[in-house]
Amino acid sequence: MMKKYLKKAFWVLLLSGLFAGSAVWTGLRSENEKKAGRLVFANAIQKFHELALINIETPSLKVSLALEDNLWRVREADNYFADYALINRLFDNIRSAAYTGKTKEITDSENGLTTRIILSGKDGNLLNNVAFVSKNREYYIKSTDNKASFISAGFQFPTTLASWVKQPILAVEPGRILSVAVGDGEAVRPETGLPFSVKTAQRTKEIRLDGLFNSLRYVPAEKVLSVQNFDETRYSENKTLTLTTYDGLITGLNTFKNGENYFLKITLSATNLPTTETSDYIKNNAFLYDGWYFQISPIIGSKLFNFALE
């Protein structure tokens, strides 16, 4: 009889141990994976309509993006407008960044690779403050015990301030250009595909403008200054070049030179009979140029400044 009870007790203890071990394992597993799928910027996502300031600190750059009049601006770039595509990609990553449930040990060398994103509301209220390490396209958030939780993300930040602003500042399509004027001269072509011609007192001569157009296909800004922070009197040398398109858009390019520094002032206007598309373009884009000066590379700057109809 005693053997019978001992045998039953043995099986009870054995099963209890198995259940207990299973419970411990389940507890440990859920502790490691409880964050899986949780959004990293959950609070900011819930209050996305309040988002008004983004501070980003990477190992190479600090930048502040502020929402003003429904447009994002780069404070360190004299409050010029941020690149639309960059902002959209940033928002996509903020919305989708989530914990994967995986963890790893973090080394001292990785501490220097930290990026911090601080999201604040319109009244300055903190929405999220997240620091993470980015290495070899892997992203993980450090904890106090020298461990890190992996997150699914695709953050890729520019390493220069100029890359945060809307680029390029100018992109000329040569086939659209009807005329190019500089000084008292003007090169005109009756229709696209034909060579430009310049009238002089003696004759009319053909002229090639490939070099100029190649320089203007993509013009990035290296630095942006507002009219309040640019003193034209410091740039005694300047030159204006005017491009007119077949659809009536007039783009004025005023190049300011001081040594090897070149700044470009761009103005948009229209001919007497512009197309509807041209009028809309000026209406929607003039704010990108009015009151702004753009530092451009010496290569493009010298090409504009030294351009002549020869």
Q: For residue 138, what are the β-bridge partners? A: 135
Above 50 in pLDDT, residue 28? no
Under 8 Å between Cβ of 78 and 221: no
- What's the pLDDT score for residue 111? 63
Residues with Cβ within 8 Å of 45's Cβ and at least 6 positions away in sequence, in order, are: 39, 94, 95
Determine the pLDDT at residue 33. Answer: 55
Residue-wise pLDDT for 155-179, tens only, equals 989 999 999 999 999 999 999 999 9
pTM, full prediction: 0.84
Pairwise CA distance, residues 55 & 61, whole Å: 11
Give the pLDDT of residue 109: 67
Cα–Cα nearest to 255, from 308, 290, 225, 295: 295
182-231 pLDDT per residue, tens? 988 999 998 888 899 998 767 888 998 999 999 999 999 999 999 999 99
Q: Which residue has the higher pLDDT, 232 or 136?
A: 232
Which pLDDT belongs to residue 112? 66
Q: Comparing 130-144, 246-260, 281-295, which segment has the lowest mean pLDDT?
A: 130-144
Tokens of 70: 């429904």
Averaged pLDDT, 237-259: 96
Q: What does the pLDDT read at residue 144?
A: 59
β-strand pairing of 237-245 with 177-182: antiparallel
Examine the pLDDT at 50 and tell me if it is beyond 70: yes
8 Å CB contact between 66 and 56 = no
Sheet strands (E) in 21-78: 51-57, 62-68, 71-74
pLDDT band at 35 (very low <50, low <70, confident <90, very high): low
- Confirm if 87 and 72 have CB atoms less than 8 A apart: yes
Residue type for position 85: A
Query: How far apart are the C-alpha atoms of 178 and 273, rounded to whole Å?
Result: 14
